[in-house]
Amino acid sequence: MKLLLVLPILLPLVTALVMLPFRERSGVQRGLGLGASLVQAVVAVALLSRVYAGGILTLQAGGWAAPFGITLVADLLSAVMVAATALIGLTTSIYSLGSIDRERERFFFHPLMQLLLVGINGAFLTGDLFNLYVWFEVMLISSFVLLALGGTPRQLEGSVKYVTINLLSSAIFLSAVGILYGVAGTLNMADLSARLPMIEQRNLLSVVAVLLLVTFGVKAAIFPLFFWLPASYHTPPVAVSAIFAGLLTKVGVYAIMRVFTTVFTGPESEAIFRILLWIAPLTMVVGVLGAAAQYDLRKLLSFHIVSQIGYMLFAIAIQSPLAIAGGLFYIVHNIIAKTSLFYISGIVRHKTGAFQLKKIGGLYSTEPLLAALFLVSALALAGIPPLSGFWAKLMVIRAGLESEHYFVTAAALVVSLLTLFSMTKIWNEAFWKDDPGVIKVTDEAHGNGRTALLYLPVVMLCGVIIFFGLSFEPVYELSARAAGQLLDVESYRNAVLGGGL
């Protein structure tokens, strides 16, 4: 049963390695990628149900007991994130079958996608700060190559910005880990949570906390550190920017959630939450205002990623069980809605030949299904009932009111309105207004069979959005239990340290 814990990491890794000899045979690579993603989804569901039923799962690699060896831990938070990753991995591997060109496939697009999933799943499952660093790097190097793959000037320029800021944040992360080891003498998260309250050098711990916030903040694109995101996410092919948009920033949010709830529990966390209460509304507002100025579909959506991160930070900063549950639900909902919107932008580009809103129009009459799918995703993002975003937002805002953070809650409500406005802008420009007839370069190379491959993932994700919206009860149950487990550091510690082997 412990195997279940390594499979989310091992499976994509092995798949990637098996794919490598088949460079010239893209058919084999595609089949392997799709098959592995399907198995991955099954594994993730099994892991989630197992953790839901039996509590926190731990695995000590090589049989080395907890603080000394490498620990893998899956509590409900990790399991939910792994499940979301598997869903996005599955849909993206379907989507990439219909949209990635042969040349990129020859240069190992599919293995890189699997390696990206290795890094993301590793980051979710690790129980050790240094391993978190390592998984971050695995994730980053795959994302660097995916971003630059194809080598158009715009891609390269976006990559330069993305790579530089991420290498800088890695150096900061490494420094923070070094200082923390010097102060506490351990890097195991459970062990740290037990030892940190006894440490006397509080000022050093504050330094570490802020350094970690900066590192994860860069990854999560929080307010002053987000500028790389809209500069790079719109340059690669849609399949790549969709998986980036869905998952990469959320790994940063997950790290913030994990480190400042499980590892730091004392005054350092309090200080970080006070900072987050300022950063959260700024992130929301700046993101949505940045989006308002954009007319490039993917850049507009990129700014919305930033804006939505603000809600998650707000939820983390409140720290009540309801807020954490809402934040977790929000993360999952956002992963799904955001990825779906990026897929839709790819279909729009496929049908009309452009991402610029000014150049496209009239899609409502020619593509009614696409219009419907866009409405579902966009209204979910804006938080219109009965879609998933409404419940997520409701939980976060209710928690905000209960904890009397009226200013931030007001900002969250106003930003919701602006998000709705922004989505209406896309609707008006791309779907409602008459086709300006500027360009019509529909790629004839893509047949109808491949268009179906583009639609299928969006239909799947919209189905999940509607399911979440309509059957709120079990989803709430799950996120509430995950939040309870996350806030109960004692049981996490016991599961990791007490179990021995």
Partner 1 sequence: MTFLLALITGLFYAAGIYLLLRRSLVKVIFGIMFLGHAANMLIFSTGRLTKGAPAFVPEGAQALVEPFADPLPQALILTAIVIGFGLQAFAIVLFRRSYEELGTDDVDAMRTTDRIEQVGGGES
Task: Give the footprint of partner 1 on this chain (CB under 8 A).
Answer: 130, 133-134, 137, 140-141, 144-145, 148, 151-154, 156-161, 163-164, 167-168, 170-172, 174-175, 177-179, 181-182, 230-232, 234-235, 237-238, 293-296, 349, 354-356, 358
> How far is it, in rounded angstroms, from Cα 359 to Cα 239?
22
Q: Mark residue 150 as left, alpha or beta (left: phi above 0; alpha: psi -120 to 50; beta: remaining).
A: left
Give the residue among 302, 333, 314, 300 at the shortest CA–CA distance from 425: 300
Nearest distance, CB of residue 183 and partner 1, angstroms: 8
Measured CA to CA, the distance from residue 378 to residue 495 in angstroms comes to: 40
DSSP-based three-state secondary structure for 389: helix
Shortest Å distance, C-beta 207 to partner 1: 12
CB of 326: closest distance to partner 1 in angstroms?
Answer: 33
State both tokens at 75: 């509590």
Given the complex with partner 1, which of 41 and 231 has the nearer CB atom? Answer: 231
If the CB atoms of residues 113 and 408 are measured against partner 1, the closer one turns out to be: 113
Kindly report whether the peptide bond that precedes residue 386 is cis, defined as omega within 30 degrees of 0: yes
Which structure tokens are listed for 353?
């030949």
The smaller minimum CB distance to partner 1, of residues 45 and 289, is found at 289
Smallest gap, in angstroms, from Cβ of residue 130 to partner 1? 6
Smallest gap from Cβ 158 to partner 1, in A, equals 5
Residue 58 or 142 having the CB closest to partner 1: 142
Nearer to partner 1, 127 or 321 (CB): 127
Nearer to partner 1, 291 or 487 (CB): 291
Using the minimum distance from each CB to partner 1, give the nearer residue, 55 or 151: 151
Closest separation in Å from C-beta 293 to partner 1: 6
Please, what's the b/e burial string for 312-331 (b: 16 or more CB within 10 A of its CB; e: otherwise)?
Answer: bbbbbbbbbbbbbbbbbbbb
CA atoms within 13 A on the CB side of 385: 5
Shortest distance (Å) from residue 184 CB to partner 1: 10
CA gap 400, 434 in Å, rounded: 42
Question: Is residue 213 classed exposed, middle or buried when 0-12, 13-18 and 19+ CB atoms within 10 A define those classes?
Answer: buried
As measured in angstroms, the least distance from the Cβ of 156 to partner 1 is 4
SS3 content of the chain, % helix, strand, coil (to 5): 80, 5, 15
Residue closer to partner 1, measured from CB, 34 or 160: 160
Contacts of 15 (CB under 8 A, 6+ apart): 32, 33, 36, 111, 114
